Structure 1
Amino acid sequence: MKSIIPKNSIKLFFSVTFFLLNFAAFAQEEAAKAGSSAQELADKLANPVASLISVPLQNNLSYGIGPYNGSKYTINIQPVVPFKLSDNLNLITRYILPVVDQRDITGENTHQFGLSDATVTAFFAPKTKGIIFGFGPAFLIPTATDKFLGTEKFGVGPSVLVMHQGKGLSVGFLANQIWSVAGNEDRADFNSFYTQIFMSHSYKSGASLGVNAEITQNWEANTTMISLNPSIGAVTKLGDQVVQFAIMPLIPIVGPHESKPDWGLRAVVAFVFPGS
């Protein structure tokens, strides 16, 4: 019943985390030189439908999962690419491609490594004042390289974002509901609702503090997963490249025994292209 976190996974995760922590002092010094522009970038990055190209790399480490005390390391490659459709309407496309390394999840002394299923979301985002909103389709694409890492199903459904943003403060939520529409008939249907409720506060230096709650409802299995995730981050430059980083604990609140971790950590580094 004992599980060891994959050595390569934990080394990679903590290497990223150590780099980000050591980078913090440098980040604050350099971001402060940028003045209000650093805060403006932090606010835009807190807005999921901002017209801003970015490539976040989200590192997640979870431990103590299920009856075999399993462990999972996931790096989500999450590019965000906006398209201008008119003077008053943008299309914001968001892609999530997970690479997973897990042990003792599907059974004792088991190991899977590879791609999981990709999620693609397209938000039509009108330019508005006050309340910001976006809506559009979300797609589940069966890119998993191992049957234990994916659903083997194509899925589609609606997505929505509603938020309010003032200088330094962002509050809102985004959600999607995806149903499977095709794929391996021998696999269970996919029917899942996901929402993230978020709040963040940015500072002139480009630093930010925030918290979000992530809720996933699996309608087929009738299970609910909820985690609470406080965060600290900063925007700065590496040479000419604008970078944002963030570190947060993942605190599991609710979840089924077979998939709820005891604890988790997340470290994010995002490459930002504000001039695009």
Structure 2
Amino acid sequence: MSRSLFVALAVSFAAAGGGASAQSASDLAKKLSNPLAALVSVPFQLNYDDNIGPDDGGSRWTLNLQPVFPFSIGEDWNLISRTILPVVSIDGIPPGAGSDLGFGDTVQSFFFSPKAPTAGGWIWGVGPVLLLPTSSGSSFGLGEWGGGVTGVALRQQGPWTYGALGNHIVNFTGDTDLNQTFLQPFVSYTTPTAWSFTLNSESTYDWEAEDWSVPINALVSKMATVGSQPVSFGAGARYWADSTPGGPEGWGARFVVTLLFPKG
């Protein structure tokens, strides 16, 4: 799975550059930096993490399927649906185990967002978040129902986009005491030639175990057109500044291919 995606990324970067004008590509790249943009997009995000387990001998590839669909609800509001379905490949987890492939639990978020920014230029949205028990087994997720609240706030000034997204989820069923807060501060800079440079953290605090997981991600992406299809290609590094016992440590990698479907 991962090798095929690497080849596709390399070929696509080499072929990129035709199609839409630089200006329209830059506009799309900036919209993609906004989690609440009224833009249908389908990101395929591949993460690699290493040094997992009590002996640091495990590794993990996670392909997150992340479709985003906006819906207009009247003249003033949008409803943004954001889904994260992980496809996970693990090796050496638990220690001594071989490779295994399966689905993780799905996180489904809905944001009610005003179509117009505030007088101060802020774009915001709030709504419910659901945890769906789609995992293939205990090695891939809890397999329990959960839910909570989610929200995001951001500003876009010139080439800059900055803000934060967060949620809090507790479980409704099962034996596990799930009580976690997720925080994702982010900043992105988009050039006139549709390159974007993004830095974020995807931190999770487990209130039951009183542990942080803090991966920091740095990503470079380029908006291009393959045939008539707008596509963003990205690659970068991630570093685990903090982790739960047995969680990933050190450096990892991220690769992203995003299909965009602008109106008109």
TM-score bin (small chain): over 0.9
3-state SS in 1 of match to 2:95: coil
Q: 1:219 to 1:112 in 2, by over 3 A?
A: farther
User: What CA deviation, in whole Å up to 9, does each residue of 1:131-171 have, x standing for no partner?
Assistant: 01010000000011112211121111110101001232100
In structure 2, the residue matched to 1:258 is 246
SS at match of 2:147: strand
Give distance in 2, aligned partners of 1:259 and 1:233: 28
Distance in structure 2 (CA, Å) of the matches to 1:169 and 1:162: 14
Partner in structure 2 of residue 148 of structure 1: 139
* Aligned counterpart in structure 2 of residue 61 of structure 1, from 27, 32, 48: 48
Whole-angstrom distance in 2 between the partners of 1:136 and 1:120:
11
Quick check: 1:23 aligned with 2:12?
yes
- 1:167-222 deviations in whole A, cap 9, x for unaligned? 3210000000001112x3xx312111111111111112211111111111111221
- The SS at the match of 1:151 is coil
Residues 1:45 and 2:32 aligned together: yes
Mapped pair 1:85 → 2:73: yes
Which amino acid is the alignment partner of residue 13 of structure 1? S
Quote the offset at 1:14 in angstroms: 4.3
The letter of the residue matching 1:23 is S
Quick one: distance in 2 between partners of 1:45 and 1:219?
32
Aligned to 2:176: 188
Q: 1:225 aligns with which of 213, 227, 241?
A: 213
- Aligned to 1:171, the other structure's residue is in SS state strand
Aligned to 1:34: 21
Query: Would you say how many aligned residue pairs link Structure 1 and Structure 2?
Result: 260
- 2:205 & 2:178 partners in 1: Cα distance? 11
**Contact map agreement 1:112 1:149 (CA 8 A) in 2:** no
- 3-state SS in 1 of match to 2:202: strand
CA distance in 2, matches of 1:112, 1:104: 9
Give identity over the alignment, percent: 33
Structure 1 position 35, deviation (Å) = 2.4
Point out where structure 1 has 5 or more consecutive residues left out of the alignment: 1-11
TM-aligned CA deviation for residue 244 of structure 1: 0.7
Query: TM-score normalised to the size of structure 1?
Result: 0.89
2:115 to 127, 143, 157: 127
1:13 maps to which residue?
2
Q: After superposition, where does 1:99-114 map in structure 2 within 5 Å?
A: 99-114=87-102
Q: Please say if 1:179 is aligned against 2:167.
A: no
Deviation per residue, 1:71-125 (Å, 9 max, x gap): 1111111100110001110000001111111022223224432111000000001
Bigger mean CA deviation after superposition, 65-74 or 13-22: 13-22
1:75 alignment partner in structure 2: 63
**TM-score in terms of structure 2 length:** 0.93
CA distance in 1, matches of 2:166, 2:89: 27
Q: CA RMSD in A?
A: 1.6
Q: Deviations over 1:9-31 (max 9, x none)?
A: xxx3244234324533543x337
Does residue 275 (structure 1) correspond to residue 263 (structure 2)? The answer is: yes
Instruction: Name the SS for the 1:205 alignment partner.
Output: coil
Unaligned runs of 5+ in 2: none
Aligned to 1:237: 225
Shift of 1:257: 3.3
Separation (CA, whole Å) in 1 of partners of 2:151 and 2:238? 24
Q: Higher helix share goes to which structure?
A: 1
* Residue 162 (str. 1) matches residue 153 (str. 2): yes
Distance (whole Å) between structure 2 residues aligned to residue 59 and residue 238 of structure 1: 20
Partners of 2:76 and 2:169 in 1: CA distance: 28
